Amino acid sequence: MMAYPMLRAINNGFFGTGEGPETYGYEYKYKDYDHDDVHFKNDRDVTIFVIAYIRRIALKNYYGVSYSAWANHQYCKSIQYMRTLVLLYVALVCAQLALSVSKPRVVCYYPNYRLKVNPIETIDPTLCTHIHYAFHILDTNNNVIVDRVGARPDIYRRLNALKTRNPELKVIVSVGGAKAPSEPFSNLVNNSSLRAEFINNTIAYLKQYGFDGLDLDWEYPVCWAGNCTAGPQSDRANFGKLLRELKAAFDKQSPRLSLSAAVKAGKPGGPYEQAYDFSALAESLDYINVMTYVLYGPWNRKTGHHSPYQKCIDYSQSYVTKGVPNNKVLIGVPFYGKVFALKNSSQHSMGAPITGAGNTPDGHNGAAYYREMCDLVKNKSWLKETNDQGHDPFAYHDNLWVGYDDPYQK
């Protein structure tokens, strides 16, 4: 079996060739890459392949790898257990010379709109080094961060209670997100007085509710919602100033507060080059989450993988090339696929014509969660093609087509 796509590669990198997975408390049997071939010895939540460094894909002197995923509750051993869906980032940091594994950074995004569906208590905190509670927004009236529906002290208490099971866990608050408007961020960063007040207010907020740090998800400085004519050019330098000022203030706290950011995929010549002061990213942030997903969609008018393997590597390497330390760069790998409606069900290859976005039975807004793809491929007669056929993995049925990451390959 080849170590592709990234899910499979992470697994290989972790277990290597000399040790069996049973060393780590799991029982595996490999028949093909169908998902119920993975079995576990206990009923705790298990998200696959999250504690690993991929020695084999340390391409172009790039050694930091992360993993963005919708985590599965007890993986695909039993579909009914797959309830806990969180967006994962896994940072797998390696020493450049020895290529040896250092302690991984596993960042799990827990969205607040999943609170009723996936209660906090369903999270297995031993899988994560960081849990990002997403998303807060900017309260422009009081110049501070705030939960979308107001403060939820009980939620924050329950999140911090997970530390009883993992004392090293960090609970981080993420601010922004794809739906957050850029103008409040821009107004903040371009005013030095507002920046100073925001930093003081945010530190007080983090301490009040027991958060261990702040994650900034502004999409994006200068290039608001990807449009680089929408925001002022001053966003770039002044966002860098905010990062430096936050770091200086966070470093003075005891314990020190963590600082991170989600950043645009590093497509050469793309918006990321206009959006960021790379020296500020490198010097101020503990890590960056490169959003190497949704790189392809119905706007392309044909089928394509939204998180293609090689582009994930290349678009993260771009930040290393710009000077961000490789052990701070986290690659995003989604645990969901993008769904397309085929124009002709008999034409289902990569690059086939489409009529637009599609939806699987349990999907949402043109996305199919990985847990559902397990079931569709295994039990619902969906056909799949893999990279041994010359492309990233995808599955199709009737007029629906989904490009997604699959851990195994024949």
Which amino acids are annotated catalytic?
219
Query: Which of 241, 281, 231 minimizes the C-alpha distance to 261?
Result: 281
In 245-376, where do the E strands start and end?
258-264, 287-291, 329-331, 336-342, 354-357, 367-369
Q: Please tell me the distance from the alpha carbon of residue 353 to that of residue 345, in angstroms, as a whole number.
A: 10
The angle subtended at Cα 195 by Cα 193 and Cα 197, nearest 5°, is 70
Q: Please tell me the distance from the alpha carbon of residue 78 to that of residue 87, in angstroms, as a whole number.
A: 20
Q: Please tell me the distance from the alpha carbon of residue 331 to that of residue 311, in angstroms, as a whole number.
A: 10
The 3-state secondary structure of 12-59 reads: HHHHCCCCCHHHHCEEECCCCCCHHHEEECCCCCCCCCCCCCCHHHCH
Q: Please tell me the distance from the alpha carbon of residue 108 to that of residue 129, in angstroms, as a whole number.
A: 8
Beta bridge partners of 260: 215, 287
Token readout for 212 is: 């261990």
Q: Please tell me the distance from the alpha carbon of residue 88 to that of residue 65, in angstroms, as a whole number.
A: 12
Q: Please tell me the distance from the alpha carbon of residue 169 to that of residue 354, in angstroms, as a whole number.
A: 44
